Chain A
Amino acid sequence: MSTATVTPKGPSTLRGARLPKWSPYAIAGGSIAVAIGIGLAGGLHSRVQWGLIAAILYVVGTYAIASAVEGKRQAKDRIATSFVWVAFLLAVVPLASLIWSTVVRGVKVLDVYFLTHSMGVVADTEPGGGIYHAILGTLEQVGLATVIAAPIGVLTAIYLVEYGRGNLSRAITFFVDVMTGIPSIVAGLFILSLMLMFDMEPFGFAGSLALAILMMPVVVRSTEEMLKLVPNELREASLALGVPKWRTILKVVLPTSIGGITTGIMLSIARITGETAPVLLLVWGNAFINANPFEGAQASLPLYIYQQYANSAGSGAAYDRAWAASLTLIAFVMLLNLVARGIARWKAPKTGR
C-alpha cells in the first residue's frame, strides 16, 4: 500500500501524501471479506451482524490507514465522507424496499377485472372483488376538493402578491404557513364537528371539504412563488398602456405563470389523493358503488387500503388487494408528479434574465 502513496501524481503534490483513489473500495472489500470470515468462524447466523462487523472494520480500517498515511485530519475527513454516504444509502433502502414490495405483491391481483369491479358481493376475507368503487370515490372527492381549493388558493396568492400590504396580508401569510402544518386528522375532525352539529351522516363531499382545507395552503404557497417570478417589467408595460390592473393580472401575469401554477396545483392534488384520515372520519367507506358524493358513504382508494388491511383478520386475499390498491395509488400519484414536473419544465416562466 505504501508504494502507491509515495508516488502522488498531478495536482495533488501540494497536499502531501494521499491514499490512491481506489483505497476506499479496497478497504471496503477487505473488511467485508474479513467480516464473512469472522461470521463463518464464529457461527453468527444473522446477515445483519455480518454487515455490522464489516461496517465497524471499515471505519476502523479507514481511520487507521488514513491517519497513518495522510494524517489525523484527513482520516477524520474520510470517516465523515463515509458516514454521509452511508446515510444516503440508508435512506435509499426503505424507498427501494417499499417500491419493490408494492410492485411485486401488487401485480398479483391487479388486472382489468380488479379495476372495474367493486367489493359489493365479496367478503373481505375472500379473493376476488376490486377497487372500481374506491377509484370512483377518490376521483370525485379529490375533484370536488380541487374545484373548491384551487380558485381560493390562486386568488389568495394573487391578493398576497399583487395587492397585499399591511396587517391583513401579513396575517394571511402567517396563517397559510400555519395551515400547511395542520395534521390531516384535525381537518377531518373540524368537518366532523360541523356534521355533528347538523346531525349529518357521512358522505363524500364532507371528505372533499376536509381535503380542500389541506390543499388550500399548498396551492397558495406554490402560486405565490410563481407569481413572484413574473418580471415586473411586464406588469409595468401593461399598466403603462392603460390596461386596468385586473386585466393586467388576468391577461399578463397569470398567462406568464400558468405553467408553474398548474404544476403547484397538480402536486397538491397528488398530496391530498393519498390522505386517509379525514376520509376515514367523514366518508366512512362503502363496499358498494356509490357515484353520488353528496349522499351516503363512499369508498376511497387510501381508505380501501386501510380497511383491507385492518378489517380482514390477516387474510392473504385482502392483503393482496391492499397491495394492488397501493400500487394503483402510487402509480397515480407518481404520474401526477411526473406530469406536473413536465409542465413545469416546458412552461417555465420566462424570468427577466
Chain B
Amino acid sequence: MGTPTQITDAPPPASQPAVDKRAARGATRPGDRIFLGLSRGSGILLLVVMAAIAVFLTYRASLAISKDQGNFLTTFQWDTNLVPPNFGIAVLAFGTVVSSIVAMVIAVPVAVAIALFLTHYAPRRLRGPIAYVIDLLAAVPSIVYGLWGALVLVPQMTGLFSWLNDYFGWTGVFSWEGGAPRSMLTVGILLAIMILPIITNVSREVFRQVPQMHEEAALALGATRWEVIRMAVIPFGRSGVISASMLGLGRALGETMAVATVLSPTFDIQASLLDPGGGTFAQNIASKFGEATEFGRDALIASGLVLFVITLLVNGAARAIIARRKEYSGANA
C-alpha cells in the first residue's frame, strides 16, 4: 500500500486488472452482464430501501402532524385520541437525551478502560477469552437485558438510590421520593451495560493500531505503563474513541425493549434522575402502540421519524470520524 496517489476510497485492489480491459474485449459476455446487473441491482435496492424509509415515514408523519393541535416539538402531552389531537415530542426528546447521556457517562470510561485492559494490561493468554466474553455481552438479545433489568437490576437499585438521596439529594438531580426505582438512572445504567461491548470493540481496534514505535519510544524514555498510555495511546486513539462512543450513543438512542420494560413512564419532565417517570421515543412507541388508533400510529410514526433523523446524524458523524481516521492511519502504517 505504498503509493498514496492511487488510494481511492473503494479500497479493493481486487478488481483492478479486469475493469480496465473492457474496451479490449469489445462487448461483454451475457453471463457477465447478467451477474453485474444482479449485483448492482441489489446495491441499488439497498439505496432504494433507505430512500423509501425516509419517504414513507415522512409521508405518514405529515398526515399526523398536520392535524396536531399542539406544537409537535414543544407540547408536553400525547393525546392522539382527543378530537382535536394534541401531542408533542418534548418529553420524549428530553428523556431520550437524558437516558443516553447517563448511559454514555457510565459506559465510555468503563469501555475505554476495558479496551486498554485488553490491549495493554491483561495477561496475553487471557486476551482472547476476555474479548470473547465481551462479544457474548453483545450477543445477548435486548429483551433479555430488559427482563433482567426489570426483575433483577431494579430491586438492587433501592440501596444505591437511598444512598444517593441521603448524600446528594440536595442537588435536585439525585432526590428520590421513594417510588420503585424504575427511573432514568436505572435505564441509563442498563443502557450503559448494553452499549459497553460496541464501544469496547471499536476502541480496542483503535488502540491496537497505535504505532509500536511510539509506545517503545515512551518506554525507552522511562515512562511507566500509565504514562505510555497517556502520552502515546490516548492521543492517538482519541478520535477513534469519540466515534466509538457515538456508535454506542446511536444504539442507546434507539433502544426500545430494555427501556420499555424497566421504565415506568409518565408524560412529564422532571429534574430528578431517581424518581420514576419520563419516556423515550422508542419506549413510547412500544408502549403506546397497543391501543393506538390509525391516527395514533401515524403520530407514533412521526416521533419515530425524529428518532430516525437523530440516529442518522449521530451515526453519520461517527462514520465520518472513522473514515478520516482510516486515511490517517493508512498513511502512517
Residues of A within 8 A of B (CB): 46, 48-49, 73-74, 76-77, 79-81, 83-88, 90-92, 94-95, 97-98, 101-102, 151-153, 155-156, 158-165, 168-187, 189-190, 192-194, 196-197, 213, 216-217, 220, 227-228, 230, 232, 235-236, 239, 244-247, 249-250, 270-271, 273-277, 280-281, 302, 305-306, 309-310, 319, 322-323, 326, 329-330, 333-334, 337
CB contacts (< 8 Å) of A180 on chain B: these are 315
Interface residues of B, dominant DSSP: helix
B224 touches A77 (CB 8 A): yes
If A73-B224, A302-B257 are given as contacts, then 11 extra A-B residue pairs at C-beta distance below 8 Å, sorted by A number, are A46-B163, A84-B116, A97-B148, A98-B148, A98-B152, A101-B151, A151-B42, A183-B253, A190-B52, A270-B139, A319-B151
Count residues of chain B with CB under 8 A from any CB of chain A.
103
CB within 8 Å for A186 and B10 given contacts A95-B137, A181-B315, A277-B286: no
- Cross-chain contact of B257 among A90, A162, A306 (Cβ < 8 A): A306
Partner pick for A91 among B44, B46, B110, B122, CB 8 A cutoff = B110
Min Cβ gap B61→A in Å is 9
B contact residues around A274 at 8 Å (CB): 140-144
The residue that A277 contacts in the complex, of B14, B17, B32, B257, with Cβ under 8 A, is: B257
Kindly identify which residue among A81, A174, A176, A276 contacts B143, using a CB–CB cutoff of 8 Å. A276
* Least Cβ–Cβ distance between B177 and chain A, in angstroms: 21
For chain B, residues 80 to 137, give those with C-beta under 8 angstroms from any C-beta of chain A. 109-110, 113-114, 116-117, 121-122, 130, 133-137
Q: Which of B65-73, B168-176, B268-276, B306-314 contacts A (4 or more CB under 8 A)?
A: B306-314
Decide: A161 and B121 in contact? CB cutoff 8 A: no
List A contacts of B151 (CB < 8 A): 101, 309, 319
Could you list some 12 contacts between A and B, CB below 8 A? A46-B163, A102-B148, A152-B45, A172-B43, A186-B311, A189-B57, A189-B301, A190-B52, A232-B17, A277-B285, A302-B257, A326-B143
Asked, given contacts A193-B59, A334-B136, whether A249 binds B35 with beta carbons under 8 Å apart, the answer is yes
CB of B31 within 8 A of CB of A247, answer yes
A-contact bits for B242-275, CB 8 A (1 contact / 0 none): 0000010011011111001100000000000000
Residue of A nearest to B109 (CB): A87
Q: How far is B49's CA from A148's CA once the two chains are assembled, in angstroms?
A: 13
Q: Are A165 and B133 in contact (CB under 8 A)?
A: no
B212 smallest CB distance to A (angstroms): 20
The answer to whether A326 touches B247, judged by C-beta atoms less than 8 angstroms apart, is no
B227 at the interface (CB under 8 A from A): yes
Q: Which residues of B contact A184 (CB under 8 A)?
A: 254, 256
Given A170-B10, A183-B254, answer yes or no on A309-B150 (Cβ-Cβ < 8 Å).
yes
Contact of A172 among B46, B57, B109, B229 (CB under 8 A): B46
Which residue on B lies nearest to A336, using beta carbons?
Answer: B139
Out of B42, B60, B134, which one reaches A193, CB within 8 Å?
B60
Residues of A within 8 A of B17 (CB): 232, 235-236, 239
Query: Smallest distance from the beta carbon of B242 to chain A beta carbons, Å?
Result: 16
Residues of B within 8 A of A333 (CB): 139-141
Q: Is the CB of B147 within 8 A of A322?
A: yes
Q: Which residues of A contact B113 (CB under 8 A)?
A: 83-84, 86-88
Contact call B256/A276, Cβ cutoff below 8 A: yes
With A and B bound together, what is the CA distance between A197 and B145 in angstroms?
34
Of B110, B144, B250, most buried by chain A (CB within 10 Å of CB) is: B144
